[in-house]
Structure 1
Amino acid sequence: MSKTIYTNGVIYTLDSNQPVVESVVIENGKILDLGSHQEMSLQWGRAGARVIDLQGKMVTPGLIDSHLHMSGIAFNFLDLDLTGVTSKSEMLDKIKQKANTVPPGKWLIGMGWDENLFTEGTIPTIDELDRVAPHCPIYLKRICYHAFLVNSKALEMSHYHPTIEVPQGGRAVLDPQTKKPTGLLLESASQLVTKHIPDKTYDELKNGLGQAMKFAIKKGLTSVHTNDPAYLGGLQQTYRMYDELLNQEQNGLRCNLLIDYPYLPALKEKGMFAGFGNEKLQIGAIKIFADGAFGRRTALLSEPYHDEPGQFGEAMQTEEVLFNIVKDARAQSMPIAVHTIGDQALENVLNILDQFPKVNYRDRIIHTSLVREDLIARLADPSIVADIQPRFVVGDYPWVIDRIGKERESYLYAWKSLLSNRVICAGGSDAPVEPVDPLLGIHAAVTRKTPGKNEVWNESQKISMFEAVKLFTVGGAYATNEETIKGTISRGKLADMTVYSKNLFELDNPDELLNTNIEMTIIDGKIQEV
């Protein structure tokens, strides 16, 4: 196979041996050589070599999103997308428009609503939902996937009754006067409804997933770590879908699959394990929930919520159950990836991990939102990765300060403290909770503010542009123990690179990130067409 030379660029390798080069030579999807334009042209530019002029553009290793839900992005292409809605009336209008296209009895599914963005009104009531869609059941996922809205038709089709048993860790919110459902379901209470929603067909799901992959590549991503089996029909169907799209149909994106713990026995039955697969598609860690989220005060804290004294949040599993889940994972030599928002949840998880031997792959603390000094020291372990989502600053401030209080803010999204204490950190979006665009994540990490606004949140925890880019490259590779094959532009590594319209390290103002474009996404040495 002929060689390809990407040349005349400002190529930041993130490899300390050769930090900046002008040219990269690629053969068979791997980096063969790198150096100056002149050196690489003389050494490799003979007849047959394909030369691609980067026209002075900035290049980094391919961007990696360490935690998202490709299935959720897929559903944005298939269902009602309420992301960015800024009022109750706008939300109800969108639901009504969609409902007018839905036949009677067919479910209307939506996602992305966030009442914290509302400039007018609050969460729609069940009566209001009934008025805009009386003929079809509605199920609307909040942007965090920890709260859900349904109408009366949905409750009727789910056989809801006042004495129904709500799954542990969940709550069906009732009107304090009438004791009737408000239409709001929290956490696992959603299972009362979801088991009655017909599954999308395989072809529908696969089509949406394929669109999601192209969208991620368009945003400069070359690899993603994604958690999907609960939404794509289980382990077998999820793996089959990814295998067809990536290995058979040659969609370019590299995907590492986090597997929800109920599918642990199925992994064993299929002979799958962490690292099973190839460089395109791999099985990753076992995904567990330790707690909820700040929005509904379900994140588990060591001290009470500032705006609701006496409320500490909720553990999604008892410590005994969590211990046994980790025990079962370790019995199969599997690493774990734990959704951990509150500091008490983090302490509980670290206490349990201390009781088990390490495995060949790093464990991941997903979100690591609220920490303490003693917990940061415990996270500084080479077998643990803090899987952080910088864009949460935009989604959670300023209301999150009401939840935790000003005195704890210095430990909220404390990325500088984590990095300064040598905690291995990887950067993700948690899309569709936050936008999949990694440049928005980098912007949040270096500015700690909402685009278009001036207020900076907890400025001491800002990180540098270089540190932020490393989160989405080197850090992402460490999260899946792939630092020997990706994360830097180095000889022998996978030829994955991202090309930008501006040099991120020479911006006069980090807000220029907001109008920086992805010029090329290169995977296996090939420019991806999307």
Structure 2
Amino acid sequence: MLKTIYTNGTFYTMNSLKPTVQSIVVDNDRILDMGTHEDMILQWGRNGTPIINMEEKTVIPGLIDSHLHISSVGINSLELNLIGIKSKDELLAAIKKKASTLLPGEWILGRGWDENIFPDKRIPSIQELDYVAPYFPLFLPRICGHAFLVNSRALSLCGYHTNMVIPYGGTIVTDPTSHKPTGLLLETASTLITKHIPQKSYSQLKEALKNALQDAVSLGLTSIHTNDPNYLGGASQTYKLFNELVNKEGIGPRSNLLIDYDYLEELKASSMFTGYGNNKVMIGAIKLFADGALGGRTALLSQPYEDDGNNLGNAMYDNDELFQIIKDIRENNMPVAIHTIGDQALINVLDILDLFEPTRFRDRLIHVSILNEVLMERLKGSHRISDVQPKFVTSDYPWIIDRLGESRAKFAYPFKTLLQNGVLCAGGSDAPIEPLNPLLGIHAAVTRKKREETHDGYNAQEKLSMYEAIQLFTLGGAYATNEEYEKGTLERGKLCDMTVLSQDPFRMKSADELLTTKVEMTVIGGEIKYRNNEL
């Protein structure tokens, strides 16, 4: 690739030594030089060097999503989309409509229901599910992915009986009177069903992944940290699919692949490890779950749920087993990426991590939703990073107050305090649980409320400045993969990854303007990968 000059724009470098420039010069995939329009054209604009006029648009470092499931985003587009369903009756109608389109033996699959937005907050009974879908097995994960609706046909396929052994950390919810299943499964109980769902073909998976990767780039994402082996047929096939699409076909953002612990042996057998690959596709940390989610009351808390006084949530492993898992990962010199939503889950994880020497890659604590002063102090250190999802704030409030009570809810998603205490933080979406659009996450971090809400924000003292919020999704994401010297800011020698916006986020009268801001261009390694308008 020849040298290229991107010029006549406002380039926010996110580097305090040189906050803005007018022009950036790219050589191959890296930033060669930067400065005023006149200087860069004078020094580099000869011998036919391509010059791309940014037409005074706003440019920021390439946006990074630090935690999502990009393959699930793609696969969900092939299935029943239940996000935004507003009532139990609407959910049942959507299931019935889908059933009318299927052939015998096909499954009803989908995701996204959320009873917290239903008027009565009630989910369908198994009898209602059987009525609208009597002939097709049904499996519908909640929006959080930690609770699941199934019908009798699905339970019969897994051979359900009252004395069935349920995987540790999981529950088949039963009626307290009849002791029969209600149609709701929690956490690892879902694996009893998922192993019976027909696998999609390689070509189907590749097409779904391709579409999602293209969507990510159109939303300004230049890098993603994505957890996919459970959806894409294991560790080796996951790497193969990303390698074909990103490296060979040039589709999608840079992709750091989080590999579930279940596939560690397969990863080793393939001679892959954290850091394997290149700066476009790389094996990342080993992913595991310490607990569940707040929506289904399966996040592990140190004190019972305010609205369920006998319930502390679910631990995915007992502490001895969690210790052995982390020990196994460390013996292979790899970092961990651990889902920890409840405060007790985080306590358990940190107690164990503190027993081991860090690797050269940072350990990642994913979500860290419910905290206290002591835990925030324990999260400090250059060897670990808190991987937070700001959009959870606008989705979880106000019902999270019912779950936790007013006092504990003040320590939910304390982004400002984390940063003020020197905790390294990265920002992600957890898509498809939340929308893939990173500007929505930035908006949530700045406002801590939905657009239509008129209050000052939930726990308003935890609102971030626009600079801090954008930094979560740029330099923060680079820290999560130990690539802060490669990307995250616009500086000489770094990869030329840039997101071009239709409006300047640092000059907005209201952060709500982010919700109408468009991505005009996405540049990865100096190449335009997406263009909205002809610049």
Q: Is the 8 A contact 1:89 1:121 kept in 2?
A: no
Alignment-mate amino acid for residue 238 of structure 1: T
Please show how residues 405-416 of structure 1 align to structure 2 within 5 Å: 405-416=405-416
- 1:201 is matched with which residue? 201
Please show how residues 338-357 of structure 1 align to structure 2 within 5 Å: 338-357=338-357
Please show how residues 111-126 of structure 1 align to structure 2 within 5 Å: 111-119=111-119, 122-126=122-126
1:60, distance to aligned residue in structure 2 (A): 0.5
- 2:319 is matched with which residue? 319
1:120, distance to aligned residue in structure 2 (A): 5.7
- 1:481 is matched with which residue? 482
Alignment-mate amino acid for residue 508 of structure 2: L
- 2:462 is matched with which residue? 461
- 2:74 matches 1:48: no
Alignment-mate amino acid for residue 184 of structure 1: L
- 2:159 is matched with which residue? 159
Counterparts of 1:243 and 1:331 in 2: how far apart (Å)? 27
1:306, distance to aligned residue in structure 2 (A): 1.4
Number of positions where the alignment pairs a residue of Structure 1 with one of Structure 2? 530
1:74, distance to aligned residue in structure 2 (A): 1.2
1:134, distance to aligned residue in structure 2 (A): 1.6
- 1:17 is matched with which residue? 17
Change beyond 3 A, Cα 1:232–1:252? closer
Q: Secondary structure at the match of 1:85?
A: coil
Q: Is the 8 A contact 1:138 1:149 kept in 2?
A: yes
Alignment-mate amino acid for residue 292 of structure 2: G
Alignment-mate amino acid for residue 216 of structure 1: A
- 1:448 is matched with which residue? 448
Show CA shifts across 1:134-190 (max 9, x none).
Answer: 221111011101000011111122221222111111111112222211111100111
Show CA shifts across 1:209-243 (max 9, x none).
Answer: 00000111111100000001111111111111111
- 1:78 is matched with which residue? 78
Q: Secondary structure at the match of 1:22?
A: strand
- 1:105 is matched with which residue? 105
When structure 1 is superposed on structure 2, of 449-458 and 410-419 the one drifting more is 449-458
1:2, distance to aligned residue in structure 2 (A): 2.1
Counterparts of 1:461 and 1:63 in 2: how far apart (Å)? 22
Q: Secondary structure at the match of 1:23?
A: strand
Q: Is the 8 A contact 2:393 2:448 kept in 1?
A: yes
- 2:195 matches 1:192: no
- 2:529 is matched with which residue? 528
Q: Is the 8 A contact 1:86 1:120 kept in 2?
A: no
- 2:364 is matched with which residue? 364
When structure 1 is superposed on structure 2, of 236-245 and 432-441 the one drifting more is 236-245
- 1:515 is matched with which residue? 516
When structure 1 is superposed on structure 2, of 302-311 and 258-267 the one drifting more is 302-311
- 1:214 is matched with which residue? 214
Counterparts of 1:190 and 1:98 in 2: how far apart (Å)? 21
Q: Secondary structure at the match of 1:8?
A: strand
When structure 1 is superposed on structure 2, of 99-108 and 62-71 the one drifting more is 99-108
Please show how residues 106-185 of structure 1 align to structure 2 within 5 Å: 106-119=106-119, 122-185=122-185
Show CA shifts across 1:421-444 (max 9, x none).
Answer: 010000000000000110000000
Alignment-mate amino acid for residue 461 of structure 1: E
Q: Is the 8 A contact 2:210 2:252 kept in 1?
A: no
Counterparts of 1:72 and 1:117 in 2: how far apart (Å)? 23
Counterparts of 2:85 and 2:398 in 1: how far apart (Å)? 18
Counterparts of 1:231 and 1:87 in 2: how far apart (Å)? 28
Q: Secondary structure at the match of 1:365?
A: strand
- 1:63 is matched with which residue? 63
Q: Is there any run of 5+ residues in structure 2 with no aligned partner, and where?
A: none
1:492, distance to aligned residue in structure 2 (A): 1.1
Output the TM-score relative to the length of structure 1: 0.98
Counterparts of 2:482 and 2:216 in 1: how far apart (Å)? 22
Q: Is the 8 A contact 2:216 2:252 kept in 1?
A: no
- 1:493 is matched with which residue? 494
When structure 1 is superposed on structure 2, of 174-183 and 134-143 the one drifting more is 174-183
Query: CA RMSD, aligned part only?
Result: 1.2
Please show how residues 222-261 of structure 1 align to structure 2 within 5 Å: 222-261=222-261
Q: Secondary structure at the match of 1:113?
A: coil
When structure 1 is superposed on structure 2, of 245-254 and 475-484 the one drifting more is 245-254
- 1:29 is matched with which residue? 29
- 2:471 matches 1:470: yes
Alignment-mate amino acid for residue 384 of structure 2: I
Counterparts of 1:298 and 1:266 in 2: how far apart (Å)? 29
Q: Is the 8 A contact 2:400 2:409 kept in 1?
A: no
Counterparts of 1:126 and 1:36 in 2: how far apart (Å)? 66
Please show how residues 379-418 of structure 1 align to structure 2 within 5 Å: 379-418=379-418
Alignment-mate amino acid for residue 320 of structure 1: D
Counterparts of 1:346 and 1:519 in 2: how far apart (Å)? 40
- 2:304 is matched with which residue? 304
Counterparts of 1:41 and 1:233 in 2: how far apart (Å)? 50
Counterparts of 2:215 and 2:85 in 1: how far apart (Å)? 21
Q: Is the 8 A contact 2:151 2:183 kept in 1?
A: yes
Counterparts of 1:151 and 1:311 in 2: how far apart (Å)? 25
1:275, distance to aligned residue in structure 2 (A): 0.8
Counterparts of 1:27 and 1:97 in 2: how far apart (Å)? 54
Output the TM-score relative to the length of structure 2: 0.97
- 2:92 is matched with which residue? 92
Counterparts of 2:71 and 2:240 in 1: how far apart (Å)? 14
Show CA shifts across 1:498-520 (max 9, x none).
Answer: 00010000000111111111111
Q: Is the 8 A contact 1:5 1:26 kept in 2?
A: yes
1:121, distance to aligned residue in structure 2 (A): 6.2
Counterparts of 2:272 and 2:105 in 1: how far apart (Å)? 40
Please show how residues 253-272 of structure 1 align to structure 2 within 5 Å: 253-272=253-272
